[in-house]
Amino acid sequence: MNSNNDQENETQKMKSEFNELSTSNLGSVNNKNCSYCNNPFTAEELCCKNCGLYNIMEGWSSENSDIDKFIKDTMYNEIEKARHRIYCQFKCLEWVPFGRFTNIKKIGEGGFAKVYSTMWNDGRLNYEKYCDWKKLDSKPIKVALKRLNGSQNISTDYLNGLKMDYDLLKFYGITKDPITNEFMTILRFAERGNLRDILSNNFNNMFWKEKINLLCNLSTYLKNSHEMGYIHKNFHSGNVFYNSSCKRYYIADYGIYGSASEQNSNNKIYGVLPYIAPEVLNGKPHTLSSDVYSFGIIMTELSSGKPPFYDKEHNTGLGLDICKGLRPEFGEDTPEIYKKLASRCMNANSNQRPTAIQLNKMLEFWKNSIDGKTYGYKEEKIKTAFENADIEIRDISIEKNPDAVYTSRIFTFSELSEPINSYYFDHKSCSYCGKSFIEEFWCEECDPYNIMEGWNSGDPNVDKFIKDTMYNASQKSQNKFLEWIPFDRFIDIELIGKGEYTEVYSATWIDGRSHYYKLDGNWRKSGSGHTRVVLKKLNSSQNISIKYLNELKKYYELNKSGLNFYGMSKNPKTEEFLLITEFANNGNLRNILSSNFNNIFWNDKIKLLYNLAIDLKNLHERKYFHKNLHSGNILQIHNGYTLRDSYNSGTFHNIIYGVLPYIAPEVLNGESYTSLSDIYSFGIIMVELSSGKPPFYDRKHDSDLALDICKGLRPEFGKGTPEIYKKLAYRCMSVNLDHRPTANELYSILNDWHNYEIVGYKRKITKLMFEEADKEIPNISSLYSKNSGAICTSRKFTFSNMPKPVNSSIIASYLKDLPRELIDYKKISNNCSRCNKPFIEESWCKTCDPYCMINGWTSGSLEVDEFISNTIYKAGSESNSTFIEWVPFDRFANKELIGEGGFAQVYSATWIDGKSKYEKQNDENWIKLNFVPKKVVLKKLNESQDISAKFLNELKTHWKLNAKSYDSTLKFYGMTMDPETKEFMMIIEFANKGSLSNILSKNFSNLLWKDKIKLLYFVTIDLKNLHELGYLHMDLHSGNILQNGEASYISDFGLSGPAGKQESRDKLYGVLPYIAPEVLNGAPYTFSSDIYSFGIIMTELSSGKPPFHSRKHDFSLALEICKGTRPEFGKDTPEIYKKLAYRCMNANSIQRPTVIELNEILKFWYISTNQNIMGDNEEKIRAIFEEADKKIPNVSISYEKDTKYVSRALSFDNLPKPINSPNITSYLNSEGLYRLI
């Protein structure tokens, strides 16, 4: 028991450290009740466990009840923050006896305070928590003492100011001058002095970068204080200090702070006159805007290096001049943008000053521009402006007026004039909303990216179009918008294509597209650098029409998810507009087929068509048609394909325009374009993809070809093209518009083909068809001799007297059964069982079932079907892949019985397909990933043919635990059914190391204590998750704890149920030695019952032997358990481990620890024994368990024949009320071990 004495001595030592406090005021302390909450103290002297966690609230008094409460409020608030954290450092305000300071020297004096430097001998109280608390060594520190003149009777307003200091700054505590009885605040010491001193001593070495950084720091502090509802009211350069440890400037001296909502007009004015806002001089109350005025004055001081109005007497005359518009002078060569922002801050009209938030955003933008973190013309301009101002920093000399006073004073002014500006403020307005800028060319509301102004396309309609995209993007916090790019920002311009209405160039965009991201509430710009783009010159577009602008708007909207449309420019020579679009790095589809056809497999072709169907579907859903769809307008960007629109066609509604073979026969015949005309063109592209050759490459593209197309001629397919592919293409190319699929139907079919695994086994035939067709690709010749009249560029056509279009006999043969199939399809296509909406194809509701897994199967039980479907639906709606599935029994191989309990049989098996995994694509559709065979456990529930509510509870508990903590719980994959017995089986993750009972019987002597602690810690994670969901395990024993790799899991929730629904019952279920005594006695299961079972497992881990292995598991054992008998611990089990286990096995269930407490304790032990985080307590814990490792015994077990370690039904009557044995009671009453558990 020596270790107990050592721990008690350590506790006493810590108590004495806590109580090293001034005892001069002990007489005023009530020794019975806490001075903060007024509740009685605990047995420990002057200690309230609720309020005084560190025993620091008592034993002192400032002799001012308001100050005492103020300091104790900060202590209590910090205690509350730390109370439930595993790790934290605790620091608070303190009352420090004056005698603890030495080397006190006066270093400054103001109107209301004197400031001293001093050494604080003890330094700050410092506590660290890592599961347990300990006091860290404190070192002497240099601090500043600010003596508050006349503070013997300190006001509540002043305390509010101190609270602000505590919230924002390094404010350490309060003391009192014993001679004057004036209070003194203890503050961080600033080695470099205040900003006024720094400018006086070092201005010539301060570059603009440092000045802007300084203002950024100050604007951040000001923003934070204003957001908390506080006003500084005495903001000047003497209250700005530099913190060398974090290299930041900060605002101090919140001596006359007050809540913004409680300010009232007052005849007395406090502060340093040049910094006081004119409206305050004129008798109005301080506002947030008054601080911004002071900020502007500091900006002038930073630019010149001279205090404001240093050459004037600070009297009523100066106050009058300030109200008439007089402001301090800026330094020579100060950048104009800086002057404008400072002038706005100093505006006589307080409503026109920027807010602290706006100031902070602007200064952050300047700072990032100077640092080179943002890219663009404006940023370059800003950076250059400040760099040029640094070229010649002039020496400053000051002849200060002796009556220029820069300490805070009281002023009283009367009959000052209404504030005005002495010069005209040029408030430029936003070109988008008309409101005044907060800074040159910046309207925060419309233009948070700061990109709308400073450019002009020369056409107000184009300007508005581009600015609309900028505004809409900023309002939605998006990055995609159009830009106006000056033509000189492009180099390496090269003509790459020419049409009747456009010329197309490739070029390098020097700056690249602007990208913005939000950080700390502000927008930051990043550049993409040199970018290869396409310039599409719009011929004769000098005077662009409204009609054409509408086409451009359509082009922009449609290309948000396709080929990127970056912006617009203008050729300065021709004055023609240019569209800037993404450069297709791999060319168009026609070129790719020509050069690489034999390397393109059917899976690639289907994927390409699938992507095109998405583009076409999006186009048609917006009520637009392409009208010029051909392989030259399909571009490959990176690894995907996208449409390039040809919107010039919008100008020619009555003219046939395009590439002849792709134009639908009804359009050739004079009918208008429709969405189904695009579908015809899609069908032609399908033929081209199958053969690798342009359609009708061997014929002249003239009226004769148009005539043959109307008569039913279609291009030829490539060798080996699958019949289902041909049939779909012929549907697209049918002259009967009712035969043609919609873009949405095309998308659905191609999604099915492309993602053939998405629907499991149903699409194997489709997959085999395309794999077989791949074998023919090497045999298809991609060589062809092109007719010189086969023109594959878009042109205007005029045809007359074309016959009515008909289908050829070949098309007719492919489509002869189509009307009946369409009717039959409509008949068999039923509704989703979940939302009752029609399926988009057989057995598939995309809304409820994005994985296409809910329908097309049944377990035979409506309850099981609903349960599984709910998990799939929830996973799909929440975009995750955690769900369970129904798996046919024939998808398992190598089934082997590995265990049998009272209610179940357990098999290992190989799941041939493995768990279904899905990945979400950019188009919002899900794709199924390749499967991998997986070894699993099948748990067959005896007599589950008619599934019970009890079994469903187990399913739901397993699932909820999986969903709550997927990575820390044994995974539940799905369900199946034994076809012979019709019993349900759960599919569960295979635990490769078996159960804890098996591990202990085979390998106990090789288990170190750190392994045991780790195992227990992982078990508490599962148990904690279970209890937080409101469920009990009710059958926790070593056979239900499984080891998989390095992790341990709880399994077999067969008797789980909502805690609120447990009732006393005659029959018990479980393994007798693990059942809590109150449950044996007829009480209902509770969370605490699971904790008892956990304690029994702890004894089993310590000894390596099952509990009560040498006794019959009968009424006699139940009787002994109720009388306090517990399993024996192993020899040399650590005392702290025993105590924790005995707490779990306490006969009084209320006094058992919660699972949260268990988890925290075992986490601390786990960290101490398994990781290298070392403190005093961690070292003690590690040493205790490492010592116990030296004496791990070999275990031999002889079982009583009637011991049963499988769950079964039990029934006991007339058992006595549970009690603790004397041994347990002695452990529970031992205080010496408390701190380590």
Region 543-562: what's the mean pLDDT? 68
If you search the block for the tokens 């006094």, which residue do you land on? 1151
Q: Which residue has the higher pLDDT, 1084 or 883?
A: 1084
Whether residue 635 has pLDDT greater than 60? yes
Residue recorded with tokens 């490792």: 1189
Tokens of 715: 């291009």
What is the per-residue pLDDT across 702-745, written as a single tens digit (0 to 9) for each?
999 999 999 999 999 988 898 889 999 999 999 999 889 999 88
In sequence order, the β-bridge partners of residue 899 are 906
The rounded distance, in Å, linking the Cα atoms of 599 and 596 is 6
Looking at the chain, how many residues does it have?
1237
Residue 890 predicted with pLDDT over 70: yes
CATH of domain 427-583: 3.30.200.20
Close Cβ partners of 913 (under 8 Å, ≥ 6 residues apart): 887, 891, 931, 933
Q: How far apart are CA 1126 and CA 1141, in angstroms?
A: 10
Report the SS3 class of residue 658. Answer: strand
Q: Give me the residue label for tokens 């009804």.
A: 666
The pLDDT mean for the chain works out to 77
Higher pLDDT, 903 or 800: 800
Cross-strand pairs, 483: 567
Q: Is the pLDDT of residue 1145 over 90?
A: yes
Query: Quick check: 1042 and 1049 in contact, CB under 8 A?
Result: yes
Segment (H or E) for 1014: helix 1009-1028
CA distance 15 to 42: 14
pLDDT level of residue 378 (50, 70, 90 thresholds):
low
- Rounded (10°) angle between helices 764-774 and 723-733: 90
Confidence at 842, pLDDT banded by 50, 70, 90: very low
- Please, which residues bridge with residue 1057 across strands? 1032
**Up-side HSE of residue 1139: CA atoms within 13 Å toward CB?**
17
Q: For the domain bounded by 203-250+260-426, which CATH number is listed? A: 1.10.510.10
Which of 567-576, 1121-1130, 1177-1186 tops mean pLDDT?
Answer: 1121-1130
| 993-1237 classified as CATH 1.10.510.10 | yes
Cα 263 to Cα 1: distance, rounded to the nearest angstrom: 65
Residue ranges matching CATH 1.10.510.10 in the chain: 203-250+260-426, 588-828, 993-1237
Flag whether the pTM goes above 0.95. no
Distances (CA, A) of 1169 to 658, 727, 784, 1096, 1129: 76, 69, 75, 22, 20
Report the greatest alpha carbon distance in the chain.
116
**Helix H or strand E encompassing 220:** helix 208-227
Which tokens hold the place of 687? Answer: 């033929």
pLDDT tens digits along 753-795: 876 444 443 455 677 788 888 887 766 666 778 888 988 888 8
Q: Which two tokens stand for residue 962?
A: 């999986």
pLDDT confidence tier of residue 796, bands split at 50, 70 and 90? confident
Average pLDDT over residues 1213-1220: 89
Q: Say which residues have a Cβ less than 8 Å from residue 787's Cβ, sequence separation at least 6.
A: 697, 698, 699, 700
Rounded to whole angstroms, how far apart are CA atoms 1135 and 1133?
A: 6
| DSSP state letter for 1085 | P
Q: How confident is the model at residue 950 (pLDDT cuts 50, 70, 90)?
A: low
CA distance 697 to 788: 9
Q: What is the predicted pLDDT for the residue at 84?
A: 60
pLDDT at 1178 over 70: yes
CATH superfamily of 1-189: Phosphorylase Kinase; domain 1 (3.30.200.20)
Q: Helices (H), strands (E): how many in the chain?
A: 34, 41
CA 764/CA 857 separation, integer angstroms: 17
Burial class from Cβ neighbours inside 10 Å (0-12, 13-18, 19+) for residue 720 reads middle
CATH 3.30.200.20 range(s) for the chain read 1-189, 427-583
Segment 351-374, tens digit of pLDDT:
989 999 889 888 888 888 888 775
pLDDT above 70: residue 845: no
> Looking at residue 686, what is its pLDDT?
95
Alpha-carbon span 937 to 451, nearest angstrom: 60
Residue 899 has pLDDT above 80, yes or no: no
Given the structure tokens 């041939």, which residue do they identify? 912
Strand ranges in 644-760 using DSSP code E only, listed in sequence order: 656-658
Among residues 340, 306, 346, 345, the alpha carbon closest in space to that of 323 is found at 346
What pLDDT sits at residue 41? Answer: 62
For residue 25, the model assigns a pLDDT of 37
Q: Which residues contact 857 (CB under 8 A, 6 or more apart)?
A: 886
- Residue of 947, 758, 983, 763 whose CA lies nearest to 866: 947
Bridge partners (DSSP) listed for residue 896: 908
Q: Which CATH superfamily is domain 588-828 in?
A: Transferase(Phosphotransferase) domain 1 (1.10.510.10)
The whole-angstrom separation of Cα 1221 and Cα 962 is 39
Q: Is the pLDDT reported for residue 1232 higher than 60? A: no
Would residue 1064 be called left, alpha or beta, if left means φ above 0 and alpha means ψ between -120 and 50 degrees? beta
Q: Which residue, 246, 230, 251, 241, is CA-closest to 295?
A: 251
Portion of the chain with pLDDT greater than 90, in percent: 19
Across 1209-1232, average pLDDT: 82
Q: Which amino acid belongs to residue 810?
A: I
Cα–Cα distance, 703 to 500 (Å, whole number): 20
- The Cα–Cα gap between 440 and 382 comes to 12
pLDDT at 511 over 50: yes
pLDDT at 256: 45
Q: Judging by DSSP bridges, how do beta strands 565-570 and 483-484 pair with one another?
A: parallel
Residue 44 — very low, low, confident or very high, per pLDDT cuts 50/70/90? very low
Tell me the average pLDDT across 1218-1223. 90
Among 386, 307, 298, 384, which residue's Cα sits nearest to residue 346?
A: 298
* Cα–Cα distance for residue pair 457/440, rounded to 1 Å: 20
User: In the prediction, which pLDDT does 716 show?
Assistant: 92
pLDDT at 429: 54
Across-strand partners of 171? 187
CA 608 – CA 595 distance, rounded (Å) = 17
**Residue 580: predicted pLDDT:** 87
pLDDT tens digits along 430-477: 555 555 544 444 455 544 545 555 677 788 888 888 888 777 766 665
Pairing status of strand 904-911 against strand 892-900: antiparallel
Cα torsion angle, 268, 269, 271, 274, sign: negative
User: Which tokens sit at 1190?
Assistant: 């030296």
Instruction: Please state the separation of Cα 417 from the chain's center in Å.
Output: 54
Q: Which amino acid type is present at position 619? A: L
Q: What do you get for the CA distance between the two ends of the chain, in Å?
A: 17
The amino acid at residue 232 is: H
Of the listed ranges 354-363, 388-397, 639-648, 1094-1103, the one predicted with least confidence: 639-648
pLDDT of residue 844: 47
d(CA 357, CA 292) in angstroms, rounded, equals: 10
Of 349 and 823, which is predicted with more confidence?
349
Residues β-bridged to residue 885: 974
The Cα–Cα gap between 415 and 317 comes to 12
Give Cβ neighbours of residue 924 (< 8 Å, ≥ 6 apart).
none
Say what the pLDDT of residue 1193 is.
64
> Distance between CA 1017 and CA 1037 in Å, rounded?
15
One DSSP character per residue, 1136-1177 reads: HHHHHHHHHT-SSGGGSPPHHHHHHHHHHHHHHHHS----HH
The confidence score (pLDDT) of residue 578 equals 86
Query: Cα 314–318–324 angle (5° rounding)?
Result: 160
Lowest mean pLDDT among 899-913, 956-970, 1219-1233: 956-970
Using alpha carbons, select from 1022, 1026, 950 the residue that is nearest to residue 984: 950
Residue in the structure block whose two tokens are 């583009």: 615
CA–CA dist 1035, 1206 (Å, integer): 10
pLDDT on residue 1111: 86
Tens-digit pLDDT profile for residues 408-418: 888 888 778 88
DSSP reduced 3-state for 554: helix
Highest mean pLDDT among 90-104, 547-561, 630-644, 1092-1106: 1092-1106
Instruction: Look at residue 11 and tell me whether its pLDDT is greater than 90.
Output: no
pLDDT digits (tens, 9 = 90+) for 658-704: 899 999 999 999 898 999 999 999 999 999 999 999 999 999 999 99
- Cα 633–Cα 750–Cα 604 angle in degrees, nearest 5: 65
